[in-house]
Amino acid sequence: MVLVLSAGCRSVSGDCPKFLAGHEVGRVQSSLIGGASGLAASRKNPGVLWIHNDYGPGCVYAIAPEGKHLGGYILEGAKNRNWEDIAIGPGPQANVDYIYAGDIGDNNAKRKSIAVYRFVEPTVEANQAPAKVTLTNVEMIELVYPDGPRDAETLLLDPLTKDIYIISKERTSKVYRAAYPQATTGKTTLEQVAKLNWGMATGGDISPDGNEIIVRGYFAASLFLRPKNGPMWKAFEGSECSIPIILEQQGEAICFDANGTGYYTTGEHRHQPIYYFPRDTKSKN
């Protein structure tokens, strides 16, 4: 039995977009992926998702939505202390897609700093044989919280401003920002800009057009609408939209598809289902 969950008592705006119940589109096939904490849909490479473990080598994996393994991409010089989320968006070079890997987990809230690794997204073919590639020119963005160490599992990249956002995993999740351009030498102190009405956020994403933000926990997920001409974080001060998810084995990963017409989720542990939730195009919203 598949149990579909929604955000229940969270506030819902009349302007909320509607999504249909999710359905399984495949399963993560590679046994190398046993702790999937983050998911991101490529816009450069059609039919490719990026995924990673929260342990092991500093590596991201390319898979097809149906779960086919397309390759492992090792980040030269990167460490995986606890990678928890991944994002795709613009960076220093114009018209180039970058991947942002968030080494932001800290279960015991003791890390003096966290890191986000940024690198140019490699080219991947949706029908290629599994590749093993080492990526160079990986930049590390070292971040420090203004109010002491904390655990976090949600990394967001604003496609309109290139700002990085971290959402903490605590009873009331806080939203922190590192404004662009982020330093790649020395440490940057994050700025707290907002908080959620709930806590224990485990993953999130921003739509390719920058107007919708999704954040999930283990048992529910919400969508926030960016105010017109406003900063992304202002979305968390507005109405909150309940969106469906399916109960998974330690479900943490969520991402919009390449066009923002739906979203994917998956859980940790090996060979987990990949679910897709299409936008309800018949809804007036």
Half-sphere exposure of 282 (CA within 13 A, CB side): 1
- Res 78: pLDDT: 97
Residues 227-238: pLDDT tens digits? 998 999 999 999
| Cα diameter, the chain | 50
Q: Region 189-215: what's the mean pLDDT?
A: 97
Q: Where are any strands of DSSP class E within 106-261?
A: 114-120, 131-135, 139-144, 152-157, 164-168, 174-178, 187-189, 191-195, 203-206, 212-216, 221-225, 240-243, 245-246, 251-256
Per-residue pLDDT of 246-261, as tens digits, reads: 999 889 999 999 999 9
Q: Taking the chain, what is the end-to-end CA distance rounded to the nearest angstrom? A: 30
> Domain locations in the chain?
4-278
pLDDT tens sequence across 144-171: 999 999 999 999 999 999 999 999 999 9
pLDDT band at 14 (very low <50, low <70, confident <90, very high): low
What separation in angstroms does the CA of 100 have from each of 75, 138, 237, 239, 241? 11, 10, 26, 28, 26
pTM: 0.94
Angle at 211 between CA 208 and CA 215, to 5 degrees: 85
Nearest to 176, CA basis, from 151, 140, 212? 151
Query: Bridge-partner residues for 266, per DSSP?
Result: 253, 274
Confirm or reject CATH 2.120.10 for domain 4-278, answering yes or no. yes
pLDDT score for 5: 47
Query: Dihedrals φ, ψ of 234, to 5°?
Result: -65, -20
Judge whether 159 and 168 are in contact, CB under 8 Å.
no
Among 4-18, 209-223, 238-252, 258-272, the least confident range: 4-18
**Chain-wide mean pLDDT for the chain?**
94
Nearest CA-CA partner of 190 in 159, 150, 225: 150
